[in-house]
Structure 1
Amino acid sequence: MTPIHYTVEAADLHAHLFRVTLTIAEPMPLQTVSLPVWIPGSYLVREFSKNLQQLQAKQGRRSASIIQRDKCTWDIACKEGQPLELSYEVYAFDNSVRTAWLDSQRGFFNGTSLCLRVHGQEEQPHRLQLQAVKNQADWQAATGLAPLKTDKRGFGLYQADNYDELADCPVEMGAFWRGSFTACGIPHHFVVSGALPSFDGARLLADTQKICEAAIHFWHGQGKQASNKAPHKNYLFMLNAVNDGYGGLEHRNSTALICNRVDLPRQTSPRTNDGYTTLLGLISHEYFHTWNVKQLRPDAFSRYNYTQENYTTLLWFFEGFTSYFDDILLCHAGLIDNATYIKLLGKTITQVQQTPGRHVQTVAQASFDAWVKYYRQDENTPNATVSYYTKGALVALCLDLSLRQEGHTLQAVMRGLWKRCKAGPMHEQDLLDELQTVSSRNWQKEIQAWVHSTEDLPLRDVLTSQGIEVHAEIASMAQRLGLRVSETSGSVQIKAVLRSSAAESAGLAAGDEWLGMEVGAKAQGGSWRLGKLDELPALMGREHKGVALVSRDKRMLRLPLTLPAQASHWRLAVPADRKAGQWPAV
């Protein structure tokens, strides 16, 4: 008998309930089980146990007593020498990549949401039995787990070496589209749920294959042995196409993705739109994580503690560097040109420059505080914190272009880190050591300034060193005022007010609805309805001062506003005479 065995059944599609039966062959006299409170890769305590119900335990025909120790942990009193069987239900109605979902169209779950952890037996083999879904003859199942005995639709028995592997291999079920390809000799599979009939699966497969080959070559070179050096022997992409959504979560040999279905490639439209480019960047990002965070990982992730936060100051490296290389790999794969890449980079730079919090929090602090700040964003987030994704990507940019000035590349550093740390945890000192190995000089000063201080990065200097032109471009009215807004149906809703901005000086606040403007004397007809911020110049004419008419908590407010001088942000450009083969294309 397998030491740990789970049977998962889609018990009620309309009630969104999975039923799980967990059999422990040799339980301890007082067997403890628990459900994780977070999922690796998404740094927030999500309390998955809130969805667990109807927990029961028995040995043979005898019920076993259950004592709940805390919010997610239970003790079961057992008799020695008899298997213990636990049964319970899990409510699954979170259509994200992080938890679980079940309805009449699709099922999905991560092991962290469904599979209780058996304390003391985490290193034992774990098996997962996926039951075919009743009255859903067209449903299939897909997972990165190793199959032992499955039917042609993918339902049946799967094996994991331990609990960590079980938790790191999500499961997709439904009447999904399926395709496959080989990248550098490694089998890859792709399943897509929710696609439109015009979906061009062949194009998605071809483009993803290019990304995967570019990533494998990035880490292991062009040789025939590259596939033998890769950390995975097969890989699965699981994409959920929805009306409105975006995101991904990396796993050891798979990834769960979500995108707007209109961003999928269509057979009727051979051109690449911005949404599809964004999706390819997401695919590249999550696949790059197969190396960077799933194998190379900080000491805090050497062994996951599923019961609490796992703190690290290195997310700027694991997420930020991955965010830098994801679009670079699209260049390597020939899916975007240098001009498109530079445009994407310019957006990242603008995003960081429009975040006052970069002068409040270092990117190392942002990494450590992810649990309470990045994943719990509110109206003050841009004023108090900086993204370890975007600023981390710019730290990588500065390192890469500084290294290139000396005849080296950040890619060489990443390959060196792979050899140095793939068998053990990575520390910041390992990065410093590898930078010195590659370049023969110390980089402590740069890392201190770029990672551990709130100084602005030397972006203009490193970009111009590679021949990239930096131009000033007129900022939008929202950027000029220091606002983040949503504009729908002729209504301007304020989402955030940036620190030390004209909007803050006027007294505008998050949650306000900006209704209109008073400009000049009322007798001259100076009160106007505001439908979009870009209408302000037309409404104000030559005036620089006016009164903003605002609705706040059903009260009408008149807030004096002084329109600031024209502001600008960076626009990057690749000069026409730039030599082929220069960064970022390789």
Structure 2
Amino acid sequence: MPSPPKPEPAAIHYRIEPWDLHAHLFRIALTITHPKALQEVSLPTWIPGSYLVREFSKNLQELKARQGKQEVKLTQLDKHRWQADCSAHKPLVLTYVVCAYDTSVRTAWLDASRGFFNGTSLCLRVHGQEKQRHTLDIASTSATAAWSAATGLSPLKIDKKGLGLYVATNYDELVDCPVEMGLFWTGRFTACGVPHRFVVAGAAPSFDGKRLLGDTQKICETAIRFWHGEGKAPFKSYLFMLNAVGDGYGGLEHRNSTALICGRRDLPRMDETRTGDGYTTLLGLISHEYFHSWNVKRLRPAEFAEYDYARENYTELLWFFEGFTSYYDDLLLRRAGLIDDAVYLKLVTKTINQVLQTPGRTVQTVAQSSFDAWIKYYRQDENTPNATVSYYTKGSLVALCLDLALRREGKTNLDEVMRTLWTQCQGGPMTQEDMLAVLKELSGRSFGTELAQWVHSTTELPLVELLEANGVSLKAETPQWAQRLGLRVGENHSIHIKTVLRGGPAEKAGMAPGDEWLGIDVNGQGWRTSKLEDVALYAGSETSLTALVARDGRLLRLQLDLPARSPTALSKKGSRSTTPTTTVPDTVSLSIANAAAVGRWLN
């Protein structure tokens, strides 16, 4: 009986080898089966989900090309594109190495204990053949013989450790499936019929993997049922890749996987049932990135219908895709039974205070924040809080207000809006007009005025009235000293000023980012200060003092007027006037006033 025919080779094939662990170098061989004459290739300048031009080509070196034994001339066209002076339809092989020394989830990492990469950092894009079938061979060396590999790509021929050949239907899928390599912990569970895998690198011996799997399973089942009821998820399997480090936090979503970073201390520990703040934050991150499987990876801005990997891809809708996901990440923890009402309201309180203590909310709209992510959110500096507002935090409060406004009117809620958007946009590109149409269809009226005020202006959100209408009371509290003075600082033997907030007492006194606040003079008595609380300790009932500040090798005496201790009142129309003032930012607390009303919202 004749043997079955061998499968046709992929049009584009990559072999990736952890080549030099101590030099942090991956070696890549790219085979283009049918190149065109003067074939062009490029490395992406950014990775979808992280809106900053990161110039991945800066890490690429030793690029060479050949056809058979013949070397092929390469011409660099710009910062990330090359052209091969090759013959058409004869296999072209390009070899190069990439330095992988970024511990984040956005690029690539390689050392003696672990490897990780996104395809946007390692895989050259073959122009004109992006829609062709791509294969990826994850290779091993003698130094990594004990390693395993995990990825969301579909396997073609792999060993028990996950090393070997994988396939992607096109370039987009290839670079949307990162790879984890090393000696990692792994566990599995099923959520609503879908197999899920969790791999963790760097965990301490006390790590309780069973608890992490059980809690993550609850999150996944809650999310799938949120979108589909008893229907099917839009992926056949899902992979969580978590890197536990000494101190870190972050995540990046992908179509059927996510890459995560957390501090080791935030992982659940064996024989410990208490849920600490760090573990709650990790569960919120897991929930956030998983929710993105629907909201941004599939239901996505119309501008992202096809990614342009060469330049910025602008949209005003990140307040929806990141902000609304930020609203639902903690809400789904509550619905999954992983936190209670009090913890959930504590998390909402934190978000509200973050926004209220950002003077930039009176300068930049959340739509502008979305559009400017490429130059502002991902390039923060000392003035960022004064000039910008986060589309994550304020976007989540827009979602909160919209949900509570819909629930107050009694015809629908934001859950139904999200599911209807998914259906009507067929889990694909959407616009703000699509959202407005669904809101009108389900609620019976236009929400154009609300979105104009909440998204496209700096008008304060009506948090007080909407929360109270849904059973939650909001109370103004006395801010901490950093907020009262209008500062963001580091405290280590002295007070290092990182940011001076617009309109606050510190700005009026002449303090500046980079200053070192050494001490204070109160009525002729000098006191050393190492923490902001020392100001309260030594100032007593005084309303002004002299701050002793070091700047550029000089000692300055700055007259500082201390703010009032009483909390700022909140209005029913919003949290504050939209006009910047010298009043310290508001700090609020939430509490349950009507348990039944809160239950209808949170359950």
Q: TM-score, normalised by structure 2?
A: 0.94
Report if the CA contact (8 A) 1:338-1:584 is conserved.
Answer: no
Tell me the distance in 2 between the aligned counterparts of 1:320 and 1:468. Answer: 21
Deviation digits for residues 142-188 of structure 1 (CA, Å, limit 9, x no counterpart): 00000000000000000000000001000000000000100000000
Pairing 1:554–2:553 present: yes
Pairing 1:541–2:530 present: no
Q: 1:571 aligns with which of 585, 589, 601?
A: 589
Deviation digits for residues 186-220 of structure 1 (CA, Å, limit 9, x no counterpart): 00000000000000000000000000000001101
1:339-354 aligned at under 5 Å gives the runs 339-354=342-357
Report if the CA contact (8 A) 1:328-1:584 is conserved.
Answer: no
Q: 1:311 aligns with which of 311, 314, 333?
A: 314
1:40-439 aligned at under 5 Å gives the runs 40-221=48-229, 223=230, 226-227=231-232, 230-407=233-410, 408-439=412-443
Deviation digits for residues 273-299 of structure 1 (CA, Å, limit 9, x no counterpart): 000000000000000000000000111
Q: Secondary structure at the match of 2:403?
A: helix
Distance 1:140 1:584, change over 3 A: farther
Q: 1:473 aligns with which of 477, 480, 484?
A: 477
Report if the CA contact (8 A) 1:7-1:21 is conserved.
Answer: yes
Structure 1 residue 583 displacement after superposition: 4.3
Q: Secondary structure at the match of 2:322?
A: helix
Tell me the distance in 1 between the aligned counterparts of 2:89 and 2:297. Answer: 38
Instruction: Give 2:355's aligned amino acid.
Output: V
Tell me the distance in 1 between the aligned counterparts of 2:356 and 2:541. Answer: 29
Q: Secondary structure at the match of 1:22?
A: strand
Tell me the distance in 2 between the aligned counterparts of 1:159 and 1:137. Answer: 22
Structure 1 residue 547 displacement after superposition: 0.5
Report if the CA contact (8 A) 2:422-2:428 is conserved.
Answer: no
Tell me the distance in 2 between the aligned counterparts of 1:542 and 1:450. Answer: 40
Structure 1 residue 584 displacement after superposition: 4.0
Tell me the distance in 2 between the aligned counterparts of 1:528 and 1:405. Answer: 54
Q: Is there any run of 5+ residues in structure 2 with no aligned partner, and where?
A: 1-8, 568-586
Structure 1 residue 542 displacement after superposition: 1.7
Q: Secondary structure at the match of 1:244?
A: coil
Structure 1 residue 422 displacement after superposition: 3.0
Aligned residue in 2 for 1:582: 599
Tell me the distance in 1 between the aligned counterparts of 2:226 and 2:427. Answer: 19
Structure 1 residue 581 displacement after superposition: 6.7
Tell me the distance in 1 between the aligned counterparts of 2:296 and 2:426. Answer: 10
Tell me the distance in 2 between the aligned counterparts of 1:188 and 1:352. Answer: 35
Tell me the distance in 2 between the aligned counterparts of 1:110 and 1:438. Answer: 40
Structure 1 residue 535 displacement after superposition: 1.7
Structure 1 residue 268 displacement after superposition: 3.4
Instruction: Give 2:555's aligned amino acid.
Output: M
Tell me the distance in 2 between the aligned counterparts of 1:506 and 1:307. Answer: 46
Pairing 1:485–2:468 present: no
Q: Secondary structure at the match of 2:77?
A: strand
Tell me the distance in 1 between the aligned counterparts of 2:14 and 2:139. Answer: 11
Deviation digits for residues 469-507 of structure 1 (CA, Å, limit 9, x no counterpart): 11222110001011111112x221111011110000000
Tell me the distance in 1 between the aligned counterparts of 2:144 and 2:12. Answer: 28
Structure 1 residue 269 displacement after superposition: 2.0
Instruction: Give 2:552's aligned amino acid.
Output: D
Instruction: Give 1:71's aligned amino acid.
Output: K
Structure 1 residue 423 displacement after superposition: 4.8
Report if the CA contact (8 A) 1:331-1:584 is conserved.
Answer: no
Structure 1 residue 76 displacement after superposition: 0.2
Instruction: Give 2:200's aligned amino acid.
Output: V
Report if the CA contact (8 A) 2:36-2:89 is conserved.
Answer: no
Q: TM-score, normalised by structure 1?
A: 0.97
Aligned residue in 2 for 1:8: 16
Alignment RMSD, CA only?
Answer: 1.0
Report if the CA contact (8 A) 2:470-2:601 is conserved.
Answer: no
Structure 1 residue 138 displacement after superposition: 2.8
Tell me the distance in 2 between the aligned counterparts of 1:531 and 1:127. Answer: 57
Report if the CA contact (8 A) 2:509-2:558 is conserved.
Answer: yes
Tell me the distance in 2 between the aligned counterparts of 1:319 and 1:409. Answer: 19
Structure 1 residue 80 displacement after superposition: 2.5
Q: 1:461 aligns with which of 458, 462, 465?
A: 465
Q: Bigger CA drift: 264-273 or 303-312?
A: 264-273
Q: Is there any run of 5+ residues in structure 1 with no aligned partner, and where?
A: none
Report if the CA contact (8 A) 2:471-2:596 is conserved.
Answer: no
Structure 1 residue 406 displacement after superposition: 1.5
Instruction: Give 1:412's aligned amino acid.
Output: E
Identity of aligned residues (%): 63
Tell me the distance in 1 between the aligned counterparts of 2:494 and 2:149. Answer: 44
Q: Secondary structure at the match of 2:385?
A: helix
Pairing 1:444–2:444 present: no
Report if the CA contact (8 A) 2:509-2:561 is conserved.
Answer: yes
Report if the CA contact (8 A) 1:297-1:425 is conserved.
Answer: yes
Q: Secondary structure at the match of 2:143?
A: coil
Deviation digits for residues 220-240 of structure 1 (CA, Å, limit 9, x no counterpart): 11x2xx22xx21110000000
Tell me the distance in 2 between the aligned counterparts of 1:435 and 1:245. Answer: 39
Structure 1 residue 137 displacement after superposition: 3.4
Q: Secondary structure at the match of 1:579?
A: helix
Aligned residue in 1 for 2:528: 529
Q: Secondary structure at the match of 1:565?
A: coil
Instruction: Give 1:256's aligned amino acid.
Output: A
Instruction: Give 2:331's aligned amino acid.
Output: I
Structure 1 residue 445 displacement after superposition: 0.5
Report if the CA contact (8 A) 1:502-1:561 is conserved.
Answer: yes
Tell me the distance in 1 between the aligned counterparts of 2:367 and 2:142. Answer: 49
Tell me the distance in 2 between the aligned counterparts of 1:364 and 1:73. Answer: 32
Structure 1 residue 442 displacement after superposition: 0.6
Instruction: Give 1:561's aligned amino acid.
Output: L
Aligned residue in 1 for 2:34: 26
Report if the CA contact (8 A) 2:204-2:264 is conserved.
Answer: yes
Q: Secondary structure at the match of 1:375?
A: coil
Instruction: Give 1:250's aligned amino acid.
Output: E
Tell me the distance in 2 between the aligned counterparts of 1:3 and 1:138. Answer: 31
Structure 1 residue 336 displacement after superposition: 0.4
Tell me the distance in 1 between the aligned counterparts of 2:449 and 2:78. Answer: 46
Instruction: Give 2:512's aligned amino acid.
Output: A
Report if the CA contact (8 A) 1:480-1:567 is conserved.
Answer: no
Structure 1 residue 136 displacement after superposition: 2.9
Aligned residue in 1 for 2:507: 504
